[in-house]
């Protein structure tokens, strides 16, 4: 009953929100961001610690500005997912740069692995589903009604959304055999390889690199920038020329570090676009 009540409240909020002009919706998202930054102390402390660790030369004033800007961008990204289909279809909302990189990789006839980042309006990158069927993986929502709503909305735009479970690897292999495009977030902390990221040792997910190496698939990487006018730009950067020495375990490690290095450079250029309130380096254990 609790989950159903939560779901109905969220559904009511979505309907009210979508009555408003889109510009007002994004203003509401900024308000939520400011409230969250000010009142959710734990996440604010993690955000500031992450930024100070990554950019030790930046002033505290600059760190705080990047932090709040990041909150606003993430809030806008999350809230716009509530009218996701409408946002994607609106002309000019999503621009995709270097689509030819994905076209070339797909033309090899093997399928493609795409390494994604928690940047900008990250889910808007799924606009490529207008041309290609996309398979991605997400955690199952605790609320089953909300989980079904999210899954249904994604499937309407030519996306297969797999839920993380013990069966995920087998399900992904089925889609690899079908030569689908598989998009996986590859920048946040997860089980995987030990890497150096902004000068600090941490863990990085190896899923994208592992699948590309194991199945001899092209690996490309992409990120998204949310623009000041609330449109966004998805940048398909390049196909990564992976290191292949014949030692699979070492190659997974080397290529994961290679990917993380590339992502670090982009985050350094657009720091306000990345999701900093994730406890990426487990700094919360050091700042208690």
- What pLDDT, on the 0 to 100 scale, is given for residue 139? 80
Asked whether residue 210 carries a pLDDT value surpassing 70, the answer given is yes
Asked whether residue 161 carries a pLDDT value surpassing 90, the answer given is no
Q: What digits encode the pLDDT tens for the residues 38-97?
A: 999 999 999 999 999 999 999 999 999 999 999 999 999 999 988 888 899 899 999 999
H-helix or E-strand containing 239? strand 232-239
Q: HSE of 57 in the Cβ direction (CA atoms, 13 Å)? A: 2
Contact 206, 185 (CB under 8 A): no
Asked whether residue 145 carries a pLDDT value surpassing 70, the answer given is no
Measured CA to CA, the distance from residue 218 to residue 242 in angstroms comes to 9
Asked whether residue 1 carries a pLDDT value surpassing 70, the answer given is yes
Any residues with CB less than 8 A from the CB of 260 and at least 6 apart, and which? 187, 195, 196, 197, 204
The arithmetic mean of pLDDT across residues 273-287, rounded, is 89
Asked whether residue 267 carries a pLDDT value surpassing 80, the answer given is yes
The arithmetic mean of pLDDT across residues 235-239, rounded, is 97
Contact 221, 207 (CB under 8 A): no
The arithmetic mean of pLDDT across residues 185-204, rounded, is 94
User: What's the pTM value of the predicted model, to 2 decimals?
Assistant: 0.93
The arithmetic mean of pLDDT across residues 254-269, rounded, is 98
- What pLDDT, on the 0 to 100 scale, is given for residue 164? 85
Confidence of residue 138 (pLDDT cuts 50, 70, 90): confident
The sheet carrying 219-226 orders its strands as 94-97, 232-239, 219-226, 112-116, 181-185, 134-138, 159-163
- What pLDDT, on the 0 to 100 scale, is given for residue 146? 67
Positive or negative, the Cα torsion across 264, 266, 271, 276? negative
- What pLDDT, on the 0 to 100 scale, is given for residue 60? 96
Burial of 28 (0-12, 13-18, 19+ CB in 10 A): middle
Buried b (16+ CB within 10 A) or exposed e, 131-144: eeebbbbeeebebe
Among residues of the chain, what percentage have pLDDT more than 70? 99
- What pLDDT, on the 0 to 100 scale, is given for residue 7? 72
- Residue found under tokens 């920038």: 225
Name the average pLDDT for the chain: 92
Measured CA to CA, the distance from residue 195 to residue 193 in angstroms comes to 6
Q: What digits encode the pLDDT tens for the residues 2-30?
A: 767 777 777 888 888 889 999 999 999 99
């Amino acid at each position: 009953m609790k989950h159903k009540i939560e779901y109905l409240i969220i559904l009511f909020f979505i309907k009210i929100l979508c009555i408003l002009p889109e510009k007002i919706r994004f203003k509401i998202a900024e308000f939520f961001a400011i409230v969250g930054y000010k009142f959710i102390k734990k996440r604010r402390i993690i955000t500031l610690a992450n930024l100070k660790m990554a950019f030790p030369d930046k002033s505290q004033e600059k760190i705080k500005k990047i932090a709040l800007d990041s909150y606003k961008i993430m809030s806008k990204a999350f809230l716009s997912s509530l009218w996701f289909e409408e946002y994607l279809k609106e002309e000019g909302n999503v621009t995709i740069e270097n689509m030819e990189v994905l076209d070339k990789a797909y033309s090899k006839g093997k399928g493609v692995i795409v390494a994604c980042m928690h940047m900008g309006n990250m889910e808007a990158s799924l606009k490529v589903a207008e041309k290609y069927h996309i398979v991605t993986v997400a955690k199952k929502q605790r609320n089953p009604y909300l989980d079904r709503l999210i899954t249904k909305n994604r499937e309407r735009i030519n996306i297969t959304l797999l839920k993380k479970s013990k069966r995920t690897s087998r399900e992904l292999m089925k889609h690899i055999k079908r030569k689908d495009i598989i998009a996986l977030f590859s920048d946040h902390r997860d089980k995987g390889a030990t890497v150096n990221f902004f000068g600090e040792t941490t863990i990085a997910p190896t899923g994208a690199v592992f699948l590309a190496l194991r199945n001899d698939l092209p690996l490309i990487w992409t990120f998204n920038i949310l623009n000041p006018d609330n449109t966004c730009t998805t940048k398909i950067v390049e196909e990564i020329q992976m290191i292949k020495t014949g030692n699979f375990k070492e190659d997974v490690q080397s290529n994961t570090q290679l990917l993380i290095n590339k992502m670090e450079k982009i985050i350094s250029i657009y720091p306000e676009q990345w999701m900093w309130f994730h406890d990426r380096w487990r700094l919360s254990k050091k700042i208690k």
